[in-house]
Structure 1
Amino acid sequence: MKIFKFGGASVKDAAGIKNVYSVLEQVGYSDVLLVVSAMGKTTNALEVVVGDYFSKSASLQSSIQEVKKYHNQILLDLFEDDKHAVFAAVNAWFTELDYFLGHNKSPNYNFVYDQIVSMGELISTTILSHYMNYRGIKTQWVDVRGLIKTDATYRDAEVDWEVTQKNISKGVKRKMLNISQGFLGADDNGFTTTLGREGSDYTAAIFAYCLGAESVTIWKDVPGVMNADPRYFENARLLNQISYREAIELAFYGASVIHPKTLQPLQKKEIPLYVKSFLEPLLPGTSVAKGADLEPQLPCFIVKKNQLLVSLSSIDFSFIVEDNISEIFALLHQFKIKVSLIQNSAISFSVCIEDKFGNFDQLKSILAKKFRVAYNENVSLYTIRHFNAQAAQMVEEGKTVLLKQISRETMQIITKEA
């Protein structure tokens, strides 16, 4: 079997759904399982519903109505007959959502989040499945929650591989088009769980591993994996081939194309992953597979904006040793602050961090009791894999370099706009 993953951008409107049909017509759909995300920005819209629910906001009903209206417009654009069974099927999901909001007793934010946000994928796949049948492609709609079993760590669930393997082996029909949801699973009690953001790619890898699939293809609005983000770098070039190891390295440094969690199950069975354009589906795209690290061999640029560079030094000029570093990392973990780079000397310790949850001020006040704390806000961290002098010069030009770190394959440069 082949596993195809279509993200939110590919199914954001009726034209997107029609294009998925066109892609399948061109590349084939027998023995294919589609893993599909929520449509467009639906996950964000459902996060607003979650927020309104917990804040008991008067705008809760209008937030839900926005999501209903968005999907209803897509239905009207796809199906000529407004009595088509898809309207009732989608309405049933919204009825389930309304029932949950009216009867839920759990105060657990993460639990509630998963029950509400999961509606995006359930609705998008329902619409896609009905549309494919409408256009003459027979499908099996598969509720992934009956197949991928997880623990009860809501919003970041761990997969029970043994049970999941058995379920998927039985639950997927070969020789036809299967359509299922990305991002979702279910715990032992049947409650919906989610696998973390970017979880749809991971779902595709889970299916591929359990089915011994021939390949996984992630369909995106770009021709494949580029050696740099075109938003920040001119002349970004397509990478034809990346090894599993190199892809994991790139992801570790912040490249947003493929999450390491997705690559690990594929690497175990040497299942190739392709990143292709849903706008030009017959182009070869990028393959992530066993073989050459990179083809063509080019420097790869990764940039992380809005970082903080924090420098700690001992108040009494004593050495910063293992105990101090251990304590600093425990605090960073406690405040959910992601570390992108570290550098230390005898009496100082510098760390480039991402304060995603706005906890730095609290952390700073605790650190200031033991260390001198200096920091630069809104710095950029550039990572260059397979760097050369020209690549480094390009990154540094017109900027103030605050810190530079070089290893055999990788250069990292922290800059501030000059």
Structure 2
Amino acid sequence: MKIFKFGGASVKDAEGIKNVAVVLETEHFSKCLIVVSAMGKTTNALEKVVQNYFEKKDYETEVEKIKENHLEITSELFSENHPVLSEIAVFFDDINSFLRRNKSPNYNFVYDQVVGCGEMISSKILSEYLNDIQFKNNWIDARDYIKTDSQYREGLVNWEETEKNIKTLNNSECFVTQGFIGSDPNNFTVTLGREGSDYSAAIFAYCLDADHLTIWKDVPGVMTGDPRKFENVQLLSGISYEEAIEMAYYGASIIHPKTLQPLKQKNIPFFVKSFLNPKEAGTKVSVSDQNEYVESYILKENQILIYVSTRDFSFIAEEHLSLIFSELAKNKIKISLMQNSAISLALCVEDKYNNINLLNSELLKFFDIEIIKDVSLFTIRNADTSKLENFYANRKILLEQISQKTLQMVTN
């Protein structure tokens, strides 16, 4: 079985939906499972609904805007009386109904119940369109198959139960399902982390022992740098699982960090290809070392630099590190780069949940803290260290680290 994943950019409008069919035709549509993200910027729009709900603002108008946008797309794909239109309306009614009767103050719980609807709607539209043009498929609810704990917005997969569920699927048929979502033991929706649709596709690929997984993007494949941020980048035609994992760890946005480990465990080839030019080869991630040592560039923006130092000039010891890491974990703040000296610790972190002020107030009880917001982390993989002056040019370096031909710099 083949696994295909289509992101939000590939299904952002009616033409995008139609193009998915073109892509599938080039891939000989049969015995496959398609994982689809929410359409375009729907996830962002649904996040605003949740924000308005908690700020006691008008969220129903925002829901109506999203509904109208989807109905406009469906009007270009289906007849006026097509059954899918009423199904879509039910999804939006469910969002309003849930928010009206919800009693939970847990932001992350409410977030998952609302934002996860984006994938439900897009997958239903795609499935119905493909069936209408004779690409026969079965729409399935990913929440019936991917089971997680109750860690909302960052669900941990129960692999034993998930694999048992997914293996019930008939490998000789085609399916359309959702990325990004699973469900907890109480059958509430749990999302797998922002951009988690790639991970969903890898979960299905692993459990179905897939022939390969292809993720369709609006770029030719994995590049040596984001072409929107770096000049003279080139396509990496083939890289190893290990190199791809390293690139994802350092922040390469083209690959979700959790995606690769399940594929590597079963040696399932992973392709990144362009839905705009589906016949081009793209990038193959496998046991290859074809482009293993090509210099590549990764930029992580909207980072925060934290300097932690002891007040009595004592060493940063194990008990200090334990306390600091515990607070980071509690506030779901992820470390992008860490460097310590005898009496201080420098951390470049990512604060997806806006908890930096909570962290700061806790650490100030024990340490002196300096925080610099809106910094960038620039990483060069396989860096040519003989040309370091080129990397430093026109940059204000706040922190740097070099290890095994990987150069990292925090700049502002």
Give TM class, smaller chain.
over 0.9
Please report how far the alpha carbon of residue 365 of structure 1 lies from its aligned counterpart in structure 2 after TM superposition: 5.1
Q: Structure 1 pair 44/344, CA: closer, same or farther in 2 (3 Å)?
A: same
SS in 2 for 1:399: coil
Alignment of 1:210-221 (within 5 A): 210-221=207-218
Q: Does 1:303 align with 2:299?
A: yes
3-state DSSP of counterpart to 1:261: coil
Note the alpha carbon deviations across 1:299-352, whole angstroms, 9 max, x for none.
111112233333344444333322233333333334433222222222333222
> C-alpha deviations, 1:357-405, integer Å up to 9, x for none?
4444554455455544445443322111111036633321111223321
CA distance in 2, matches of 1:111, 1:278: 34
Match of 2:121 in 1: 123
Selected match of 2:278 from 263, 277, 281: 281
- Whether the 8 Å CA contact 1:384–1:391 is kept in 2: the answer is no
Question: Partner residue of 1:19?
Answer: 19
- Residues 105 and 328 (structure 1 numbering): CA distance in 2 closer, same or farther, change over 3 Å? closer
Assess, with a 3 A threshold, how the Cα gap between structure 1 residues 130 and 299 changes in structure 2: closer, same or farther: same
Offset at residue 135 of structure 1 (A): 1.4
Match of 2:236, SS?
Answer: coil
1:190 correspondence with 2:187 = yes
1:351 maps to 347
Distance 2:40 2:385 in 1: 41
State the distance in 2 between where 1:60 and 1:374 align: 37
Identify which range, 4-13 or 115-124, moves more after superposition: 115-124
Q: Distance in 2 between matches of 1:75 and 1:302?
A: 38
Residues 91-110 of structure 1 correspond to what in structure 2 (within 5 A)? 91-110=89-108
Deviation at 1:296, TM superposition (A): 6.3
- Indicate the larger mover: 399-408 or 237-246: 399-408
Residue 112 of structure 1 and its aligned partner are, at CA, apart by 2.2
Are the counterparts in 1 of residues 237 and 282 from structure 2 also a CA contact under 8 Å?
yes
Corresponding residue number in structure 1 for 2:376: 380
Residues 164 and 382 (structure 1 numbering): CA distance in 2 closer, same or farther, change over 3 Å?
Answer: same
The separation in 1 between residues aligned to 2:307 and 2:59, in whole angstroms, is 44
Q: How many residues align?
A: 412
Contact 2:38 2:122 (8 Å CA) reproduced = yes
Hey, what's the Cα distance between the residues in 2 that align with 1:128 and 1:322? 53
Unpaired segments of 5 or more residues in structure 2? none
- What's the offset of the Cα at 1:25? 1.4
Corresponding position of 1:176: 173
Q: 1:164 to 1:369 in 2, by over 3 A?
A: closer
Q: CA deviation at 1:254?
A: 1.3
Q: Distance in 1 between matches of 2:315 and 2:247?
A: 34
Range 12-21 or range 302-311, more displaced: 302-311
Identify the residue that residue 322 of structure 2 maps to in structure 1: 326
Correspondent of 1:243 among 240, 244, 252: 240
Mapped contact 2:379–2:409 kept (Cα < 8 A): yes
Q: 3-state DSSP class of the match of 2:66?
A: helix
Name whichever of 100-109 and 2-11 sits farther off: 100-109
Equivalent AA in structure 2 for residue 412 of structure 1: Q
d(CA) in 1 for partners of 2:337 and 2:260?
A: 23
Aligned equivalents of 1:364 and 1:103: distance in 2?
Answer: 35
Match of 2:75 in 1: 76
**1:33 alignment partner, SS class:** strand
Distance in 2, Cα, partners of 1:123 & 1:337: 31
Q: Which residue of 1 aligns with 2:394?
A: 398
Aligned mates of 1:144, 1:158 — CA distance in 2 = 15
Per-residue CA deviation, residues 5-46 of structure 1 (Å, 9 max, x unaligned), is 001110000010011011111221101110001111111111
Name the SS of the counterpart of 2:258 in structure 1.
Answer: helix
TM-score w.r.t. structure 1 length?
A: 0.92
Match of 1:143 among 135, 141, 144: 141
Identity of aligned residues (%): 53
- What residue ranges of structure 1 are gaps of 5+ in the alignment? none
Judging changes above 3 Å, is the alpha-carbon distance between structure 1 residues 370 and 139 closer, same or farther for their aligned structure 2 residues?
closer
CA distance in 2, matches of 1:334, 1:8: 31
> Do residues 412 (structure 1) and 411 (structure 2) align?
no
Q: SS of the counterpart of 1:64?
A: helix
Offset from partner CA, 1:223-257 (integer Å, 9 cap, x none): 00011111221011111111111111111111112
Matched to 1:66, the amino acid is K
CA–CA distance in structure 1, aligned partners of residues 358 and 93 of structure 2: 42
- State the distance in 2 between where 1:216 and 1:303 align: 26
Helix, strand or coil for the counterpart of 1:411? strand
Aligned: 1:225 with 2:205:
no
Question: Is this contact kept in 1: 2:384–2:405, CA < 8 A?
Answer: no
Taking the aligned partners of 1:277 and 1:93, their CA distance within structure 2 comes to: 30
The one-letter amino acid paired with 1:289 is S
User: Separation in 2 of the partners of 1:280 and 1:208?
Assistant: 23
Q: Secondary structure at the match of 2:401?
A: strand
Farther-moved stretch of structure 1 (398-407 vs 386-395): 386-395
1:88 to 86, 89, 105: 86
Q: 1:140 to 1:227 in 2, by over 3 A?
A: same
CA distance in 2, matches of 1:194, 1:365: 29
RMSD (CA atoms): 2.1
CA contact (8 A) 1:338 1:353 kept: yes
When normalised by structure 2's length, the TM-score is: 0.93
CA deviation after TM superposition for structure 1 residue 73, in Å? 0.2
| Counterpart AA for 2:341 | S
CA contact (8 A) 1:217 1:273 kept: yes
